[in-house]
Structure 1
């Protein structure tokens, strides 16, 4: 009977360890990806990369 309890505790420890590893991988992915927001505060994202003057012709 006691062996089942010990086995269950061991499985639970392994499950928590895997979850910690997943959390660490997720955090590392977020840090590697970065914020993704490279524009300056107050800048309109719709017109951020438009150069003043004539725009290149769009060929349809």
Structure 2
């Protein structure tokens, strides 16, 4: 059975991480929004479009 080349796999993960970081930095410099779901905010005027049947949220005072 072939031996796993952990150094190659680690290097590939490092390169992928570096590419992702550079892409994110490039997008930030261009002023484009991130593609990551946790960083996305709803566009103005789109509140309530996801579920029109639900009552509006009431903030606790």
TM-score category (smaller protein): 0.3 to 0.5
Larger gyration radius, structure 1 or structure 2: 1
More helix by share: 1
Normalising by structure 2, we get a TM-score of 0.45
